[in-house]
Structure 1
Amino acid sequence: MTIILFLIIFGIIVISHELGHFLLAKKNGIRVVEFAIGMGPTLFHFKRGETVYSLKIFPIGGACIFDGEDGVKSENGEKDEGSFLSASVWARISSVAAGPLFNFLLAFLLALIIVAFTGSDRPVIQEITPGGAAQTAGMEAGDLITKINGEKIHLYRQVNLISALNHGEDLNIDFVRDGEKYSVTLTPIYDSSAGRYYIGLTGAGEYFKCNALQVFQYSYYELEYWVRATFKSLGMLFTGQVTKDDMAGPVGIAQIVGETYEEVKPYGISSVVFSMMNIAILLSVNLGILNLLPFPALDGGRLVFLLIEAIRGKPVPPEKEGIVHLAGMAALMILMVFVLFNDISRLFS
């Protein structure tokens, strides 16, 4: 069941990403040579029109290959009509950017379904830890948190995330109590047994059912939450605040899917479905953001070269761009091997 759920989640996310590239390329008149799901040897394929649709053996990626995207012109040195090179620079930019954007769209659509059926969590304090930081600062159960350090708070999970990532820094908290606005400075308290700082709040916020308009509003807040969480995680990765053991590749993700399934299975099929959708939202947002990073071989790296072309009025020589992307691809392959090895090592530790 773990393998099946993992393949379904990953398949939906990859198809969404590549479909974004595919649809925008078609709209811009760019020929798509191949639409592939997975990596490695081909399991089966078929051709419809000018595009080959294929399924690869390793379900950890995909590709939407444009005609001429490698920068090679036709034998007579001309740009073939319908090739990637013959399209305007903005058409190419939109076709490349559409993949990550469709990941965000998928995440939003999944959030719509979850919020419509289960509601959302307002940042209302349910319980104060006796003698904790929040009580010391004068906060009480029932307070509605509106801002922390200037960041607007819409979901209680934002409070939990800020608390989990805190390293003892003071928090300036704005909240509403009985219609009145208050502001306090909260100093987290270190718990040596847990090895982390706590802000003295417990519970999971106030869950409520959303009306039709609130479904869209809180689905946007869901998407915003996962985007902020991903950027904060990346910031911690680049500043060395997380270790290799905090990273997970396909094997690690499959393990998380399996553990989540076993945990929620007793509560019925609906709990399983919504839990898997939450994982899909997280992964889809992560894939969208990671692909927009200006790293060679990723969509973000390709966008950098296209934006340079748009600014200077002429493209970077294809052979130079190709070398950069080749180096980036090699680095990504090394990283994938490292993460895979790390995942497998954790299974036997």
Structure 2
Amino acid sequence: MLRGKNGRSKVAVSIILFLIIFFVVVIAHEFGHFIVAKKNGIRVVEFFIGMGPSLFSFQRGETKYSLKLFPIGGACMFEGEDGLAAEKGEISERAFPNAPVWARFATIFAGPLFNFLIAYLMALILVSVCGITTSEIQGVNEGSKAQEAGLQAGDVITGMNGKRIHLGGEVTLISQLNTKGESLSVTYERDGKENTVVIEPTYDEESQRYYMGILAGGYLKCNVPQTFQYAFYTMKFYVETTFQSLKMLVTGQLSRNDVSGPVGLVKVVDEVYDSAKAYGAVEVLLNMINISLLLSVNLGIMNLLPLPALDGGRLVFLLVEALRGKPIPPEKEGMVHLAGMVALMLLMVLVFFNDITKFF
């Protein structure tokens, strides 16, 4: 634990940076719900950031805006959303249940969509300022399987196991996830021609992982068209990384210690800030944007999972309604989402205490 005035100051800075990141990512998500609801004439009762008791709130027009105590999410509450008022006939024409099914679908889907849009904007900033790491091979280890396969420095890897490759990070990710040492089909470009070879990775006892024996990662300062192109590839890479992490969590390849909540994220921000601050404020800012990009993608994907209480679960009910031509009874849908919300709250509590025991 950090001690002393300097230590406390550094932690305070890290907490402030985390809160800024949290507000940007969550506000983007909830604003997506909000703006599409307004466009479809749906009344927004409350727009709030955080959970728990309100720190302050104000009313503007028909909507109440609130900031709550705990930085663990937010919500955009629509009139009649819980279905209870609808049963009693106490809702207006602008209530959520009275909107056309596809208007409700668009409203719910807009939250995750705005997370991806803000993530793409962040990727544009990063790529335009920093450039990108390409999949060009910088070196081949002597006696490695890659050298035996004929790979050379200057070759550009364009595909691995049938997947198109655009970034050096994609090469690293596929290599690191190859925990069983399976053969890798590598397509590379040399002198304008593509070739494909099969590499049998070699196991390294010291690092306990398999290696092809290459160093991939050239540098490209992007022009304007390339900036838009590689910003998309960068966001796509974060999406793939998130899905891989979820898969590894479900299959037991990751443990609960690999999952972080707000406390864990503050520590991550603190470590990144500590490493970047020596290079100046711009470097700190770019690193915080990078963390925000990852978290925005994570929030978008997590909310699209077809689980009760999440946006994805609500979208499933709306799809069923569109297909069958009538809604699921509100009381049944409400029970499902309530159960999901309770499970989600319990998970948040477990993650919080896991962070506490892990870091303190």
TM-score (norm: length of structure 1): 0.97
Q: CA deviation at 1:128?
A: 1.7
8 Å Cα contact 1:69/1:83 also seen in 2: yes
Instruction: From 262, 275, 300, give the equivalent of 1:250.
Output: 262
- Alpha-carbon distance in 1 for matches of 2:87, 2:22: 39
Equivalent position of 1:196 in the other structure: 209
Equivalent position of 1:35 in the other structure: 47
Equivalent position of 1:334 in the other structure: 346
Equivalent position of 1:89 in the other structure: 101
The one-letter amino acid paired with 1:136 is: E
Q: CA deviation at 1:61?
A: 0.9
- Alpha-carbon distance in 1 for matches of 2:241, 2:207: 22
Instruction: From 140, 144, 153, give the equivalent of 1:132.
Output: 144
The one-letter amino acid paired with 2:284 is: V
The one-letter amino acid paired with 1:158 is: E
Percent identity between the two aligned chains: 59
Residue 266 of structure 1: SS of its match in structure 2? helix
Misfit runs of 4+, over 6 Å: none
Instruction: From 127, 145, 162, give the equivalent of 2:157.
Output: 145
1:266-277 alignment, distance < 5 Å: 266-277=278-289
1:169-318 alignment, distance < 5 Å: 169-202=182-215, 205-318=217-330
| Distance change in 2, residues 1:250/1:136 (3 Å) | farther
**Are residue 321 (structure 1) and residue 328 (structure 2) matched?**
no
- Alpha-carbon distance in 2 for matches of 1:221, 1:177: 22
Q: CA deviation at 1:76?
A: 5.9
| Distance change in 2, residues 1:131/1:322 (3 Å) | same
Equivalent position of 2:9 in the other structure: none
1:267-313 deviation digits (Å, cap 9, x = unpaired):
11111111111111100000000000000000000001011000000
Equivalent position of 2:6 in the other structure: none
- Alpha-carbon distance in 2 for matches of 1:22, 1:145: 43
Q: CA deviation at 1:73?
A: 3.7
Instruction: From 144, 159, 165, give the equivalent of 2:171.
Output: 159
Equivalent position of 2:121 in the other structure: 109
The one-letter amino acid paired with 1:188 is: P
- Alpha-carbon distance in 2 for matches of 1:208, 1:336: 41
Instruction: From 66, 75, 78, give the equivalent of 1:66.
Output: 78
- Alpha-carbon distance in 2 for matches of 1:268, 1:76: 59
Q: CA deviation at 1:75?
A: 7.5
Q: CA deviation at 1:251?
A: 1.1
Deviation larger for 4-13 or 334-343? 334-343
8 Å Cα contact 1:21/1:98 also seen in 2: yes
8 Å Cα contact 2:140/2:214 also seen in 1: yes
- Alpha-carbon distance in 1 for matches of 2:85, 2:299: 31
Residue 126 of structure 1: SS of its match in structure 2? strand
8 Å Cα contact 1:74/1:80 also seen in 2: no
The one-letter amino acid paired with 1:191 is: D
8 Å Cα contact 2:31/2:111 also seen in 1: yes
TM-score (norm: length of structure 2): 0.94
1:134-165 deviation digits (Å, cap 9, x = unpaired):
22322111110000001000010101111111
- Alpha-carbon distance in 2 for matches of 1:345, 1:201: 39
Residue 47 of structure 2: SS of its match in structure 1? strand
| Distance change in 2, residues 1:333/1:133 (3 Å) | farther
Deviation larger for 63-72 or 124-133? 124-133
Deviation larger for 211-220 or 241-250? 241-250
The one-letter amino acid paired with 1:196 is: R
The one-letter amino acid paired with 1:102 is: F
8 Å Cα contact 1:260/1:275 also seen in 2: yes
**Are residue 80 (structure 1) and residue 78 (structure 2) matched?**
no
Q: CA RMSD in A?
A: 1.3
1:150-197 deviation digits (Å, cap 9, x = unpaired):
100001010111111111111100001122221111111111221221
Instruction: From 47, 62, 87, give the equivalent of 1:50.
Output: 62
The one-letter amino acid paired with 1:21 is: H
- Alpha-carbon distance in 2 for matches of 1:310, 1:89: 7
